Amino acid sequence: MNKTTVLEQLEAYQPTHAEDRRFKAEMIHFVNAHHDFASRHNPAGHLTASAWMVNPDRSQVLLLHHRKLNLWLQPGGHIEDDASLLAAALREAREETGLTSLIEVSPEIFDLDIHLIPARKQDPEHPHLDVRFLLEADPGEPLILTPESNQLRWFSRAEIQNMDLDWSVLRMLEKV
C-alpha cells in the first residue's frame, strides 16, 4: 500500500467531530512514523479498513456480531495485499457478509476511529487505526455468515439508536 496515497487520503479527510480531528492527527503521525503502518505484525498497531454499509435509501445499516469481540460492529479488518484502503474495506465487506452488490458511495474516507484490541493468544493488546468507507448494498441479497461472526443483520436506524453500541458506531449512524 502506497504511503503517500494513504497520507493524502488522511489529509483530505474533513473531520466532523473532535474525536475525528484527534484520530486524523494520530493516524497521520502513525503512518509517518511506521514504514509497516498496515502490517498486522507491527507491535505498535496498524491501520485497518472497514465499511459502513447502508441500503439505497439509507434507512438500514448492516452490522455483524463479532465472535471474538462479542460486539455489534461494521464489517472490516486487516489490510492484506490490497491496493488501497478502499479496496481493503470492500474486500473485508465481501468476505464478512457474502454480499456482491456493494457500491462505494464515495472513494473518500467516511470516518476514522482508533480502538484497542484486547490481548489474545500470542497477540498483545494493540490499537487498530480504522479507516472507514461508506458503502451501499442491496438488503434483499442473501447474507453469508462466516466463522468470524455470530450473526449478520440489517438494522433500522431506530433499532440501532436503541442498542448498546460503541460511540464510534453511533457516530457513523449520525453521519449518514
124: containing domain: 3-175
pLDDT of residue 119: 85
pLDDT of residue 111: 96
49-88 tens-digit pLDDT: 999 999 999 999 999 999 888 889 999 999 999 999 999 9
Domain of 127, CATH number, reads 3.90.79.10
What pTM, to 2 d.p., does this model score?
A: 0.94
pLDDT of residue 64: 95
pLDDT of residue 120: 81
- What mean pLDDT is predicted for residues 36-53? 94
8-30 tens-digit pLDDT: 999 999 999 889 999 999 999 99
Q: How confident is the model at residue 106 (pLDDT cuts 50, 70, 90)?
A: very high
The string of DSSP letters for the chain reads --HHHHHHHHHH----SHHHHHHHHHHHHHHHH-TTTT-TT-TT-EEEEEEEEE-TTS-EEEEEEETTTTEEE-SEEE--S-SSHHHHHHHHHHHHH-----EES-SS--EEEEEEEPPBTTBPPEEEEEEEEEEE--TTSPP---TTEEEEEEEEHHHHHTS---HHHHHHHHH-
pLDDT of residue 122: 81
Number of structural domains found in the chain: 1
* Spatial CA neighbour of 36 closest among 91, 8, 78: 78
- What mean pLDDT is predicted for residues 153-171? 91
| CB neighbour burial string for 87-102, b if at least 16 within 10 angstroms, e if fewer | bbbbbbbbebbebeeb
- Determine the distance from the C-alpha atom of residue 148 to the mean position of all C-alpha atoms in its chain, rounded to a whole number: 15
pLDDT of residue 1: 87
